Chain A
Amino acid sequence: MSFREKTAWISLISMGGIYGFYFWSLIASGRRTDAHAAGLLGTIIALVVVQTVLTIAVAIFDPNSAQAPRDERERLIDLKSARFAYSGLATAVAFAIFFAALPSPIIFGANSLLLILVVCELMRSGCQIIQYRRSA
């Protein structure tokens, strides 16, 4: 498994797990906005720490691959994955604009946009992994 594929797995699992927990706790806490703000800050810090530590750990075991620039196949996989995620982003934003017209608290709108971004990032990482696996 290449370094880029490992980082895609790190991104998918860490984002899925940490943001999954955040959105689950958001639903559980109801409409308490102070809990939302603290939870979001903690989520971002946890995500940065987990991704940084895991990426450094992977790079220590395979320093040559970690330092090497992306080759043409990896760049192509990145481009295809970004295009796939962008189509999801464009669709979700169109829905978000439609639902923004409905009366709802600002925290709901902000979390909806965050959810869209997280889902699109998960789509991007997932698409990368599928393509790496297909051409492995």
Chain B
Amino acid sequence: MATIRNEIRRLRFEHGEMTQQELAEKIKVTRQTVNAIELGKYFPSLEAAFRIASVFGKPLESVFHYSEEEQS
């Protein structure tokens, strides 16, 4: 089963304890959507993912990690 994890929570705290609301305003989504992305309950579009990475000044693969886990 494929999973996409992200480092948004850690990156927010490394960037002056940025709140979800502040990040949401920068990437033009709602705070609830940022929360859903952080918790892995919603996978953002490629455009939103690039915007998030751009806010933190990181490449996309530093923010989002894709892994394909084998089911035993």
Contacts and interface: CB of A to CB of B under 8 A. Distances in A.
A135 B30 contact: no
B58 interface: no
Nearest to A71: B29
Interface residues on B, range: 10 to 19
B41 A135 contact: yes
Interface string B24-65: 000011111101100001101100100000000000000000
A34 interface: no
Interface string A30-66: 0000000000000000000000000000000000010
Q: Main secondary structure on chain A at its contact with chain B?
A: helix
A72 B52 CA distance: 14
Contacts of A136: 32, 35-36, 41
A74 B45 CA distance: 12
Assign chain A's interface to a size class. 10 to 19
A73 B28 contact: no
Contacts of A25: none
A133 B31 CA distance: 14
A68 interface: yes
Nearest to B41: A135
Nearest to A72: B45
A91 interface: no
Contacts of A134: 41
B28 A71 contact: yes
Contact of A74 (B28, B33, B48): B33
B33 A71 contact: yes
B35 A71 contact: no
A2 B33 CA distance: 10
- Please list the 6 inter-chain residue pairs (A to B) with the smallest Cβ-Cβ separation, ordered nearest first: A71-B29, A135-B36, A135-B41, A73-B33, A2-B32, A135-B42
